[in-house]
Structure 1
């Protein structure tokens, strides 16, 4: 390059040079044009070097930023660019006055060229010329027109993606087989042949070149190469931590569906009256809170006279399109029903031609204790079930008939049901069925779950359902155990005391037993089997449950408040009948409190002490419980969804107010929190299993304690010192459905309020009143299951941080496989296809990532099943042959499992990121929680 000249520049004396500049997300060319001209100057010489960088704008035009540098020793005065062309297109604005360029200085100017300059990738000539006092400059150069910054960025991004695709990830790098048949690599992990790897590598090199010498085809070429490479990655599927996308399998596709233009028709069953007993039907907008995106529903208002007719309503709708229904097709629809419909109606009868098929409503789980969907409509709780039956008849079909039946001999009744998403489906005939997964490793050979998850590792205890001697899978993998039924009130307290009377002094049915231990049955052997297995203290116990709206003895369930309004009538406080209530007897709150105080005290002290009063003995010894559910599922199924949006700090009016429990509060239910039945239940548990501080407080305040606490000899002249333990069982409030944020917030509010009130109670013992929140976690594979659970976990962790709670447990954990899950629905213990299996493992991995993240807050995680199946056909960590399933592997190494099943990332989009440390969990009006 000429840096200075001693003679005047002659016109045409030019030097051209070009450089290329490669930016992070765009490729641009830089041209250098050198022209020195003019006459001899007393002050020195002028040497102007011009460089230009080009970018393509969004509208297809081009912009050049031109830098004019004077490398001479004299100032270039009155510099003007008079001509600028790119290809055949002239730049603007012209002429462009630059002014004076001092020696060894530069000045920039911007010129715009229309899209007519050419397409990206075209080679054109770029020219600039102009003058300054005493000389001229100018020159030309062939250049390649660049792409837009967006397009260049897309190509750069594709190059990065291609490099990542070729590399794999840290856990599962892509292997390259030089042998070509995979004999020199681990075929369980991803691998390609050397030729396949080279093809992608060559495509990446070509794309890099395109960033400089633009090629408009570069993006399409690289995309095609990446797609080909991805299809060529191979794995034999033998490693449970890695699988390539097996494809969707034979997913259901819709064959036809009703138009939802429904009309009445002659009933299929001749017992159904022609006038339908006054039953009606119509299409209405979806009425529940989650209405966004929901289709209308068929609302059936059912009325049945209950005379000699059968009752029912019969409807028909054209099918669109009319089709030849194939073999293997099914009829699918969702039914929404109120809880009050329990025991009503009989069946659906349906047909698409002449043959009919029945689906019995009695098969619906009307008493479902853990519904997967809950709604509120017209002041009632509604549930949903999915109906799937084989199509009644194959062949040409143009009309669908749906008939709802009553039953002979029924009393007069009425209710409403809703039907949605009715369709006829078949497995997609254009896809192959996926094979079932084979779980190859028995529980006896895989690493123990409790070897990883234990408190010594800074984590939590692993537990499972089941009592008795600890052997097999329970012994190898778990350390804390629970029974599903044998500590519930109907089992432990089948006989009522003969002191129990109504407000009028009448005896209660079934309460005829001499008071004391004779009222009770205790399942000692079930828990002695745990206590006496292994080394002393090796295995631990969780108790379930003292008080619940279900499975209580008949003598107890008849107790109702003396004055509190019954039923849901729009008032803030009322009582609701628990399950199994066959009669109702009004009982005073003092009598109802005495019942629960005795029940809790007898059951807890029977196990936790050696007192003969409670049926124990020194010879038997203490049967220790680590944790104990005191109250179970007392939040109403749906009222929280109405109350919390109106008042985020509400909770009292969102409870079930189970009749025999609400009787403890009766007319005081809306008053002092220390009179609330939930508060009293937990207070009784603290007294039943006291620490030293409680024993001292009990003695000091004995004179002011209520009379019912002193009637049955639970103290020795005001002392409960004999029952003190240094490590009393932790008392738990247990519930389900915390993925519903309004329900989680209700429990948060309740615990905060009650535990705050406890701090000023004369019997406060230094422990939170409710020590642990138990999240049943009967959950399902779902797109947001993990992050929804993280919300409630963070909410409860906030209580721990505020010293108003001791911890959290996941008390009944298992996962259902719904029809919406990858690979379709399944009911345990049925074998899973490989896509279902992978999704199960991925969901377990996400959940255990979340558990581990909150480990300092979590006491234990209990699997509600050891092998085969859990609650309601859900999947646990071992299959029916006690072999480890995908859930086990996802649990043992969550990150590895997720990395090895990346084809499911789209289904679980964003979940893994939300579980990472530092993610801000939005708790609404309570702010953000970060862990």
Structure 2
């Protein structure tokens, strides 16, 4: 302690001597005010130099003042976590979970601040250097034991994998590793090309493999090699990493990659690639196709490596064919020998003891409902924390409408396979108990249901999937006149548009009215009663996964050529698809939902316009002589269009364009009922922790908020929210329900905090946020708010107190640079050609 005092005294004496010397030799003139230097007076011919010198001095002073402000903030802490000063030997007078220092540890920074505040301009560089060093030293003295989920000091990067070598991209052909690959590759070629997708900034060239198979060899293939730089002695635990970009047309063509970095063959298979996944890693559009990305990680051979061999094998027993794959970012990585492994996070508080999420977020406090996936009786975590519930599958057409009606015929009058059931209730299978249990849980009206989904390109029954338009050609052709295949289409049967409309009209009437009425026609009863729904997804994921990335830059108002045109849905429009919006299949699907669950205005309009309704609406007894009064719903479910990838701005804009035009057209429809056609825009939010995720979502939120402000939409929802931990995230990647290390955990909590702060900012526009998982894991190994032991994880704490979590994990500010500032109230959001939006 005595030596510390002596050192401080020495510093103070030195500072005083320096200051005295400066003022004695070059005093600041009396005319100088508030730290501003007096300008030299050398005559009019020196004015330019004077102004330049003045500007330089002003910049120096500004920079020093900024540094002083930063040092003062470091010394004080922030509003959530003021820095504690301990005046005991053991720190027993502070809460060690939060930032603290010993009193003696403040003296170096205090002295540097004292000098910086008083230093004349000539000593600004010295004052800056001294203060920077003092700040770095002081930051290293701040302590916290990490026991509170809302605060952690930087735990370090961990034992990360580092690149130790990579191919030089000087690729040459070589003899195949597998003798079944033709020596001439059957004409297959390779080349380096620029990264071809929209997100090309900063991306390196890719290896393009033009595959060919002659149909006679066991399988096709191609073999290339490149020197490694540097030559490296590959240690144990190393991996070979690379990305593959592949089109949807690659399905079934390819078997495996064979790799060699020494003398042993290493195999990694392509058979596991996703093609029809509900939310895959879409990259973009190239050569007229949608492309996806897969990452390979293969345990490397150990030893001296100077060359890298990559061989593609086609699938066996295939006909003659060609194809293209792109390969990028090949590298050999090894654990950093100087790294220190991060400890796993310990989630200490069970869901039963933390504050209910729904006590923070609810309509009563002018926010929004929170919910989770899962139907049936509401108990446990669902009951304590959530208000609204959804099932991922049981209301999809494959489940609810397994049998087709016998009246369904092709354009030539032939019956469709699977469509041989007596029309009516026998076609259907309803998950009544799942939603009745929600209705009957808790007090009356305590819990609510969200329905997912009436129509989409996947999980339709086989009899429905075979319907194709009578006149449209297959495959996108740059116009609206095409149809695309939904998932699982094996047989194609042309059906005229009136018949196709009748299919979807009946499907919508039966499914919605089964729950929302007591009519026995729909399998309900007065004794069972109405099973209400807060909201209902009418259509899911009909915007094409990648085409918008090309089309929106060309035309910011595009949407009609950016749709999938799922075959059994676009058959409702057929050759009228490019005409008036009232004939568009999406318009019709939502119109049917308005009729199925009518308000009083719809019932009146339906009766008044009954004579003009198309015949297919009147054939199957869904009204009583033109009256649907018996089906009026006092509080109809909000009718929602639901889609993923809305954090991609071109897709967000495509959905905006679509909803704006369809809803505007609805205002002049004879059946307009005072409600928007598409009432809510559902954002799935199956996203990943990322540097700009919050601000990208804010762009979409602002777009859709303008539609609400114009009265064209009722609101927004996040219908399927969870977060993946990619390899690029702080602490590295992870797949739920794996336990996270502390850095991963903090990054997860920080992202959830940013998103819930964003939700709160737009709360007047949001109906609900649904977590796509209760505990453990969500969609595709994503993380939700509770871990596999039902303990609150960092995501929960970030969601409950966003500002506190973010301010308590400032070591992650660099990774999420600017995100917290962008989602503050008053930030101006750039909407491009639509102007700006401020909230």
Deviation (angstroms), 1:247: 1.1
- What residue is the counterpart of 1:334 in the other structure? 243
- What residue is the counterpart of 1:537 in the other structure? 445
Deviation (angstroms), 1:63: 4.5
Choose the corresponding residue for 1:766, options 633, 649, 674: 674
Q: Does 1:307 align with 2:216?
A: yes
8 Å contact from structure 2 (residues 76, 82) kept in 1: yes
* Rounded Cα–Cα distance in structure 2 between residues aligned with 1:355 and 1:486: 49
1:190-589 residue pairs with structure 2 within 5 A? 190-211=99-120, 214=123, 217-391=126-300, 393-589=301-497
8 Å contact from structure 1 (residues 155, 219) kept in 2: yes
Choose the corresponding residue for 2:70, options 153, 161, 165: 161
- What residue is the counterpart of 1:46 in the other structure? none
- What residue is the counterpart of 1:662 in the other structure? 570
- What residue is the counterpart of 1:832 in the other structure? 740
8 Å contact from structure 1 (residues 29, 53) kept in 2: no
8 Å contact from structure 1 (residues 55, 146) kept in 2: no
Choose the corresponding residue for 1:29, options 27, 31, 34: 27
CA deviation vs aligned residue, 1:14-66 (integer Å, no higher than 9, x gap): xxxxx99x99xxx983457xxxxxxxxxxxxxxxxxx7899999xxxx9435x
* Rounded Cα–Cα distance in structure 1 between residues aligned with 2:638 and 2:59: 60
* Rounded Cα–Cα distance in structure 1 between residues aligned with 2:279 and 2:796: 24
Q: Residue 146 and residue 563 in structure 1: after superposition, are their counterparts in 2 closer, same or farther (change >3 A)?
A: closer
Deviation (angstroms), 1:328: 0.9
Choose the corresponding residue for 1:903, options 795, 811, 817: 811
- What residue is the counterpart of 1:187 in the other structure? 96
* Rounded Cα–Cα distance in structure 2 between residues aligned with 1:775 and 1:713: 35
Instruction: Name the count of aligned residue pairs.
Output: 818
8 Å contact from structure 2 (residues 84, 101) kept in 1: yes
Deviation (angstroms), 1:202: 2.0
Q: Residue 694 and residue 110 in structure 1: after superposition, are their counterparts in 2 closer, same or farther (change >3 A)?
A: closer
Rg bigger for which structure? Answer: 1
* Rounded Cα–Cα distance in structure 1 between residues aligned with 2:772 and 2:48: 72
CA deviation vs aligned residue, 1:838-886 (integer Å, no higher than 9, x gap): 1111110110111011111100000001111111111100011111110
8 Å contact from structure 1 (residues 55, 147) kept in 2: no
- What residue is the counterpart of 1:783 in the other structure? 691
* Rounded Cα–Cα distance in structure 2 between residues aligned with 1:736 and 1:624: 26
- What residue is the counterpart of 1:64 in the other structure? 40
- What residue is the counterpart of 1:875 in the other structure? 783
Deviation (angstroms), 1:310: 1.9
CA deviation vs aligned residue, 1:68-118 (integer Å, no higher than 9, x gap): xxxxxxxxxxxxxxxxxxxxxxxx459x9xxxxxxxxxxxx99999x9xxx
8 Å contact from structure 1 (residues 180, 194) kept in 2: no
* Rounded Cα–Cα distance in structure 1 between residues aligned with 2:326 and 2:49: 65
The Cα RMSD (Å) is 2.4
8 Å contact from structure 2 (residues 35, 120) kept in 1: no
- What residue is the counterpart of 1:651 in the other structure? 559
My pick for the range that moved more, 710-719 or 405-414, is 405-414
Q: What is the DSSP-based 3-state SS (H/G/I as helix, E as strand, rest coil) of the residue aligned with 1:872?
A: helix
Q: Residue 703 and residue 395 in structure 1: after superposition, are their counterparts in 2 closer, same or farther (change >3 A)?
A: same
Q: What is the DSSP-based 3-state SS (H/G/I as helix, E as strand, rest coil) of the residue aligned with 1:751?
A: helix
8 Å contact from structure 1 (residues 273, 309) kept in 2: no
Deviation (angstroms), 1:787: 0.5
My pick for the range that moved more, 788-797 or 364-373, is 364-373
* Rounded Cα–Cα distance in structure 1 between residues aligned with 2:405 and 2:338: 68
* Rounded Cα–Cα distance in structure 2 between residues aligned with 1:783 and 1:454: 29
Q: Does 1:864 align with 2:777?
A: no
- What residue is the counterpart of 1:923 in the other structure? 831
Of Structure 1 and Structure 2, which has the larger fraction of its residues in strand?
1
Q: What is the DSSP-based 3-state SS (H/G/I as helix, E as strand, rest coil) of the residue aligned with 2:781?
A: coil
CA deviation vs aligned residue, 1:305-341 (integer Å, no higher than 9, x gap): 3334222111111111111001111111111111121
* Rounded Cα–Cα distance in structure 1 between residues aligned with 2:837 and 2:55: 47
Q: Does 1:891 align with 2:833?
A: no
8 Å contact from structure 1 (residues 811, 863) kept in 2: yes
- What residue is the counterpart of 2:10 in the other structure? none
Q: What is the DSSP-based 3-state SS (H/G/I as helix, E as strand, rest coil) of the residue aligned with 2:204?
A: coil
Q: Residue 580 and residue 206 in structure 1: after superposition, are their counterparts in 2 closer, same or farther (change >3 A)?
A: same
Q: What is the DSSP-based 3-state SS (H/G/I as helix, E as strand, rest coil) of the residue aligned with 2:779?
A: coil
* Rounded Cα–Cα distance in structure 1 between residues aligned with 2:213 and 2:122: 81
Deviation (angstroms), 1:426: 1.3
Deviation (angstroms), 1:206: 2.7
Point out 4+ residue stretches in structure 1 off by more than 6 angstroms: 51-57, 109-113
Deviation (angstroms), 1:147: 9.9
Q: Does 1:679 align with 2:655?
A: no
- What residue is the counterpart of 1:42 in the other structure? none
Q: Residue 621 and residue 235 in structure 1: after superposition, are their counterparts in 2 closer, same or farther (change >3 A)?
A: same
My pick for the range that moved more, 705-714 or 341-350, is 341-350
Q: What is the DSSP-based 3-state SS (H/G/I as helix, E as strand, rest coil) of the residue aligned with 2:398?
A: helix
* Rounded Cα–Cα distance in structure 2 between residues aligned with 1:670 and 1:216: 68
Q: Residue 521 and residue 229 in structure 1: after superposition, are their counterparts in 2 closer, same or farther (change >3 A)?
A: same
Deviation (angstroms), 1:213: 8.4
Q: Residue 465 and residue 497 in structure 1: after superposition, are their counterparts in 2 closer, same or farther (change >3 A)?
A: same
Q: What is the DSSP-based 3-state SS (H/G/I as helix, E as strand, rest coil) of the residue aligned with 1:238?
A: coil
8 Å contact from structure 2 (residues 214, 319) kept in 1: yes
* Rounded Cα–Cα distance in structure 1 between residues aligned with 2:465 and 2:472: 16
Deviation (angstroms), 1:429: 1.3
* Rounded Cα–Cα distance in structure 1 between residues aligned with 2:85 and 2:610: 79
Q: What is the DSSP-based 3-state SS (H/G/I as helix, E as strand, rest coil) of the residue aligned with 1:462?
A: strand
* Rounded Cα–Cα distance in structure 1 between residues aligned with 2:646 and 2:146: 36
8 Å contact from structure 2 (residues 774, 784) kept in 1: yes
Deviation (angstroms), 1:151: 3.3
* Rounded Cα–Cα distance in structure 2 between residues aligned with 1:734 and 1:223: 51
* Rounded Cα–Cα distance in structure 2 between residues aligned with 1:472 and 1:56: 65
* Rounded Cα–Cα distance in structure 2 between residues aligned with 1:402 and 1:341: 18
8 Å contact from structure 1 (residues 147, 214) kept in 2: no
Q: Residue 151 and residue 565 in structure 1: after superposition, are their counterparts in 2 closer, same or farther (change >3 A)?
A: same
- What residue is the counterpart of 1:700 in the other structure? 608
Gaps spanning 5+ residues in structure 1: where?
1-18, 33-50, 66-91, 97-108, 121-144
Q: Residue 759 and residue 111 in structure 1: after superposition, are their counterparts in 2 closer, same or farther (change >3 A)?
A: closer
- What residue is the counterpart of 1:635 in the other structure? 543
* Rounded Cα–Cα distance in structure 2 between residues aligned with 1:783 and 1:112: 44
Q: What is the DSSP-based 3-state SS (H/G/I as helix, E as strand, rest coil) of the residue aligned with 2:190?
A: strand
Choose the corresponding residue for 1:740, options 648, 663, 668: 648
* Rounded Cα–Cα distance in structure 2 between residues aligned with 1:680 and 1:602: 16
Choose the corresponding residue for 1:913, options 815, 821, 824: 821
Q: Residue 217 and residue 410 in structure 1: after superposition, are their counterparts in 2 closer, same or farther (change >3 A)?
A: same
Deviation (angstroms), 1:218: 2.5
8 Å contact from structure 1 (residues 629, 733) kept in 2: yes
Q: Residue 600 and residue 216 in structure 1: after superposition, are their counterparts in 2 closer, same or farther (change >3 A)?
A: closer
- What residue is the counterpart of 2:14 in the other structure? none
TM-score by length of 1: 0.85
8 Å contact from structure 1 (residues 93, 112) kept in 2: no
Of Structure 1 and Structure 2, which has the larger fraction of its residues in helix?
2
Deviation (angstroms), 1:430: 1.3
* Rounded Cα–Cα distance in structure 2 between residues aligned with 1:599 and 1:93: 90
